[in-house]
Amino acid sequence: MPERTFLEAIRSALIDEMTTDQRVFVLGQDVGVKGGVFLVTDGLYQQFGACRVIDMPIAEAGIVGAAIGAALHGLRPVAEIQFADYIQPAVDQIINEAAKLRYRSAGDWTCPIVVRAPFGSGIHGALYHSQSTEALFTSTPGLKVVIPATPYDAKGLLIAAIRDPDPVVFFEHKQLYRTMRGEVPDGCYTVPLGTAAVRRTGRQISLFTYGLMLHHSLTAAEQVADEGIDVEVVDLRTLYPLDRETILASVRNTSKALIVHEDNLTGGIGGEISALISEHAFEYLDAPVRRLASPDVPATAFNEALEAHFMLNADKIAHALRELAAY
C-alpha cells in the first residue's frame, strides 16, 4: 500500500472520483492553473481540463452558489474555499440554500455538493488564515460536517462526501497537509460519514477530539500512561451528525470525559458533546465533563509567543488529563 501525505491523499480522492464519475468537477479560487494555494489540486487542470477544474473569482458566495446550481442539474461539484476564514460570505448559500433544499422540496431535490476548506492555526497565518470555523455549521440540520485526521481517512471520507446526496462541509487542517503521512490505498474506497474511530483504547478517561488535536491527544495519552493513567482516544471524524453511540459507549466504559478542540471554547462542539454525555450517561460519570479548547479571543495572533499560547499541544492536554484523573 503506497504511503501518501495528507495533502496527497485528498488529491488522490479527487482524481479517483473525477476519473470514475464524469459528473464530479472542482471549482474555486486558483484551483486550476495554479493548483490551489496549498497545491492540493495541482495537476488536475492539466489532467481534466478547464471545464472540470474551474478557476473562480474571489467571491465565496458565488463559488458555492454556482456549485449548488450545478448540483441541481445533476452534477457533483467540489467547491474549494481558499481558507476557512473566508467561508463567511458563503454561509448564506450553505445554510439557507444547500442545507434546506431537501426539506423545502419534500425530498424531491437534493444538493450533493462538497465545500472543502483548510482551517486551523500553527502556521503563523495570524488573524485571517488561522481560524477554526466548524462551529458555524455544526448546528445546521441538512449539513454534514467532516474533519479527517489521517491520510487514509482524508481520502475515504472525501470520496464518501462526494458521493453523499446532501451537502458536506469538509475541513482540512492545514498543518497536517505535509506533516502527516500514512498508508493510503490506490483506487476508490470510502470511510462512512457519521462514524467515529477509537484510536486508542483505555479504561479511565475518554478523550474526544478531531483533526490535528487527535495527534496531540495521542501523544498526551502516551505521556500520562507512564503515570498509570489509561486514556481512550476517540477520533470524532464527523462533527455533524455526531456518532452518539461510540461517544456514550466510551464514557460508560471509562466514567470520565475530556473533550479537546482547537476551536474557541464557547460555542464549540465540546459543549454539545458535554450535553450529550450529561443527558444520556450521567449515572456513569465519576467527574464533571471537562472541555479543553482554545481561549475565547477573536483570532490567533501573528506574534509567535501569542500564537503558541493560543494553540493547544500535547503538554496542555496531558495536564488536563492529570487533573481529571485526580478528581
* Residue 261 is a catalytic residue: no
C-alpha to C-alpha distance for 302 and 127, rounded to whole angstroms = 7
Phi and psi torsions of 171, nearest 5°: -95, 140
Catalytic residue, candidates 129, 215, 216, 261: 129
Burial of 106 (0-12, 13-18, 19+ CB in 10 A): exposed
C-alpha to C-alpha distance for 179 and 34, rounded to whole angstroms = 22
Phi-psi sector, 28: left (phi>0), alpha (psi -120 to 50), beta:
left
Length of the chain as a residue count: 327
The set of catalytic residues is 129
